[in-house]
Amino acid sequence: MRLVLLGLPGCGKGTQARLLVERLGLTYIGTGDILRDAIARGTEMGREVAPLMERGLLVPDHRVNDVVAELFRGESRPEKFVTDGYPRTYAQAISFDALLRLEHLDLTHVILLTISDDEVVRRMLARGREDDNEDTIRRRLNEFHKNNDTLVEHYTRCGVLREIPAVGAVEDIHANIVRALGAK
């Protein structure tokens, strides 16, 4: 199973991705975590992306595309995975498609978790991560809305997209995703 989770920042992609990792033994690919780790380690990339992430702006496509491509190089190349926060732009989707084609791995599912802006603002303010202040959250939501329609159109055309409401109990949302995946 090779799965992309799409949805507003704070819709629960990370929460649901981790449940799917536990249940289905998938590799977790979360670009937000990779970038935060680069910032924590003070790498060159970390220093470049920190001011963008603090402001809720997207990191340049080539940076995240390189980070993801790197994961597929070498022996630990994931064959079953779930992505959280990638791709986030049409250019990233095209780059990811090309990478997977090269690796003879096609995407099996794309799940769009649907939720309102107001609900995610409430959730993220309650979570309190460093980039979870109201101005940054609103900017992240704007970035999402600018890109999401083209991503949804792209994956609808590919015939792999399913929408799942992301409100209610975490376990119920998980069960709905598992059902949509046709997994046990």
Instruction: Kindly indicate which of the ranges 20-28, 86-94, 102-110, 150-158 contains the residues binding ligand AP5, using the contact rule CB under 6 A.
Output: 86-94
- Taking alpha carbons only, the member of 67, 82, 3 closest to residue 36 is 67
d(CA 117, CA 62): 28
Among positions 13-52, residues that touch ligand AP5 (CB under 6 A) are 13-15, 31-32, 35, 52
Instruction: Kindly indicate which of the ranges 5-13, 96-104, 146-154, 156-164 contains the residues binding ligand AP5, using the contact rule CB under 6 A.
Output: 5-13
Nearest CB to ligand AP5, comparing residues 105 and 164: 164
- One of 26, 38, 56, 177 touching ligand AP5 (CB under 6 A): 56
Nearest CB to ligand AP5, comparing residues 88 and 104: 88
d(CA 141, CA 179): 28
The residue of the chain with the least Cβ separation from ligand AP5 equals 32
- One of 88, 96, 147, 161 touching ligand AP5 (CB under 6 A): 88
User: CB 178 → ligand AP5: shortest distance, Å?
Assistant: 15
Does 170 help bind ligand AP5 (rule: CB under 6 A)? Answer: yes
Cβ–Cβ contacts within 10 Å for residue 178, how many? 16
8 Å CB contact between 1 and 181: yes
Nearest CB to ligand AP5, comparing residues 4 and 104: 4
- The residue with tokens 């084609």 is 101
Does 173 help bind ligand AP5 (rule: CB under 6 A)? Answer: yes
d(CA 100, CA 44): 27
- Taking alpha carbons only, the member of 82, 87, 88, 83 closest to residue 56 is 88
Strands, DSSP E only, in 8-86?
27-30, 81-84
Does 9 help bind ligand AP5 (rule: CB under 6 A)? Answer: yes
- Residue 16 in tokens: 């649901």
First-to-last C-alpha distance (Å) of the chain: 12
Interface residue list for ligand AP5 (CB under 6 A): 7, 9-15, 31-32, 35, 52-53, 56-59, 64, 84-86, 88, 92, 123-124, 127, 140, 170, 173
